[in-house]
Structure 1
Amino acid sequence: MKRTLTALSLALLLPLAACGNDDTTEGADGGSDSGGELTVLAAASLTDVFDQLAGPFEEEHDATVTFSFGSSTDLAEQVADGAPGDVLATADETSMGIAEDAGVTGDVQTFATNVLTIVVPKGNPAGIESLDDLDGATWVRCADEVPCGKVALAVLDDNGITAEPASLEEDVRATLDKVISGEADAGLVYATDAVAASDDVDAIEIPGADAELTSYYAATLDQAGDSGLAADWVTWITSEEGQSILGDAGFGSP
């Protein structure tokens, strides 16, 4: 079935949250019956790989998967406020904790890891070779409060880098876009983003960056329209086949 990728305006959908569980259907084993629609709210760095994961899932379950990608912190705050959705996937434990503290999640599963890297426009016109070369360059990273910004701050601190970015972006894909467009000489993104954009950027490994691994977390939401289908998605991304697809996209095992 054809899947839909969209940046949902969750705030506008809040009034629908109250009726989220009315149409829940589950099979005898707790999984979903065939058919249905699934809305997954996920960290921006999962954009490409979740699209890949959706295809086999939709075929097996005769379902349609809709994604809303963005900042983990923003998405977690929205579901904590009751915004509709079936599954939440975040790029850090702190963001998932916002939803957990609000009491709107099922069991939380760790399903992948990631590492920070430097990306530059193809051909590396500014000659960036390491974090030291960010001083004097036009470079960008994620805002402090989002997961990719937090890990960037940690990696920069570990390496004693004090150079200031030209801008702070709302999520990792916005950071990547600034580099692809040539607006920035370099950007700090996840290794998987560099893999996804390999035709448009060159990646420069950061020695020791694996000391600041990013872990990804997923959980079903209490407001899920189909709790069984939501549980099936979490099972799928943690399965051997799902992990293989994540691995091919550059993600590490949990």
Structure 2
Amino acid sequence: MPTRSARRARRAPGAVVAAVAAAGLLVLSACSGPGPGSGSGDGSGTSGGVSGEVTVFAAASLTESFEKLGERFEEKHPGTHVTFSFAGSDALAASITGGAPADVFASASPATMDIVTDAGAAAGTPATFVRNRLEIAVPPGNPDGIASLRDLTDPGLKVVLCDEAVPCGAAARKALDAGGLDLTPVSYEEDVKSALNKVVLKEADAAVVYGTDVRAADGKVAGVGFPEAADALNDYPVTLLRQAPNAAAGRAFVELVRSAEGRKVLGEAGFLAP
């Protein structure tokens, strides 16, 4: 049985997601109720509850919140075990449509969820459960005095962005376009955690990431807000997958995410109401 540390190790997208595919606040508004869809997997639950392993593919920005919810889920449902794959939403969607076995998909944008629904891989209609807002991550103390998105266009700064194929990169592009700004980063990263880590490791002076990731970094970076972020809010949808190996447990996990308890955990992490 994988350990919690093993779950976190599965976050790295590239090789890990490829291997999976090959082998397999604001107080949030109420949106509780049954998870979307009924699924066609045979599941492993019983009339009195659920059991067995539930596999959740989730956007990298959900790492800390979903790991906490995974612990709550296992406490509520003895005999279950939640395994996560955290990565860029586009890579996860490609893995799902490529046949990787999973019960639940939580994406950082409707566009990447559409890849899954258009392929007929979602069970029912995905439900938006949170939103997220961009911030600029800088080293503690903000040594370069970055105060705006425009400041990132200074050619003397090393700035990283998420690849535009992933939701944080697409959102950054929207924000830059809203400000009429042209920015060439030193690198495009495969997910938001990779972009943030460049600043943590002092390999970049700034990165455009989600405010939730700045908060989760626990003081290793500081966050700078900017008004253009209001034009680039990301909705996060979640769905049970049609071929879920454990549909009963997957449905129960979606219900937890959308419950008052799930909204509280996500709100504490800085996610916004949908």
Gapped runs of 5+ residues in structure 2? 25-39
1:123 counterpart residue number: 141
Residue 142 of structure 1: how far off its partner (Å): 0.4
- Residues 59, 79 of structure 1: alpha-carbon distance in 2 compared, 3 angstrom cutoff: same
Residue 15 of structure 1: how far off its partner (Å): 6.7
Residue 152 of structure 1: how far off its partner (Å): 0.1
CA distance in 2, matches of 1:56, 1:75: 24
- Residues 182, 10 of structure 1: alpha-carbon distance in 2 compared, 3 angstrom cutoff: closer
Note the alpha carbon deviations across 1:179-223, whole angstroms, 9 max, x for none.
111111110000100110131011101124123210101111122
Q: Identity of paired residues, percent?
A: 42
Which aligned pairs between 1:144-223 and structure 2 lie closer than 5 A?
Answer: 144-223=164-243
Gapped runs of 5+ residues in structure 1? none
Residue 58 of structure 1: how far off its partner (Å): 0.8
CA distance in 2, matches of 1:149, 1:225: 32
Structure 2 counterpart of 1:106, one-letter code? A
- Residues 22, 196 of structure 1: alpha-carbon distance in 2 compared, 3 angstrom cutoff: closer
2:61 counterpart residue number: 45
Residue 33 of structure 1: how far off its partner (Å): 2.8
1:24 counterpart residue number: 43
- TM-score, length basis structure 1: 0.91
Note the alpha carbon deviations across 1:68-100, whole angstroms, 9 max, x for none.
011101111110111111111100111111111
CA distance in 2, matches of 1:51, 1:120: 25
Greater length-normalized contact order (CA 8 Å, ≥ 6 residues apart): 2
Residue aligned with 2:227, SS? coil
For the Cα contact (< 8 Å) 1:109–1:218, is it kept in 2?
Answer: yes
Q: C-alpha root-mean-square deviation of aligned residues, in Å?
A: 2.0
For the Cα contact (< 8 Å) 1:10–1:84, is it kept in 2?
Answer: no
Report whether the alignment pairs 1:71 with 2:74: no
Which residue among 36, 51, 54 is the counterpart of 1:35? 51
Which residue among 54, 61, 75 is the counterpart of 2:70? 54
Number of equivalenced pairs: 248
Residue aligned with 1:133, SS? helix
Residue aligned with 2:72, SS? helix
For the Cα contact (< 8 Å) 2:41–2:247, is it kept in 1?
Answer: no
Structure 2 counterpart of 1:131, one-letter code? L
Which residue among 83, 98, 108 is the counterpart of 1:81? 98
Q: Which region of structure 1 is more displaced relative to structure 2, 85-94 or 156-165?
A: 156-165
Residue aligned with 2:130, SS? strand
Q: After TM superposition, where is structure 1 displaced by more than 6 Å over at least 4 residues in a row?
A: none
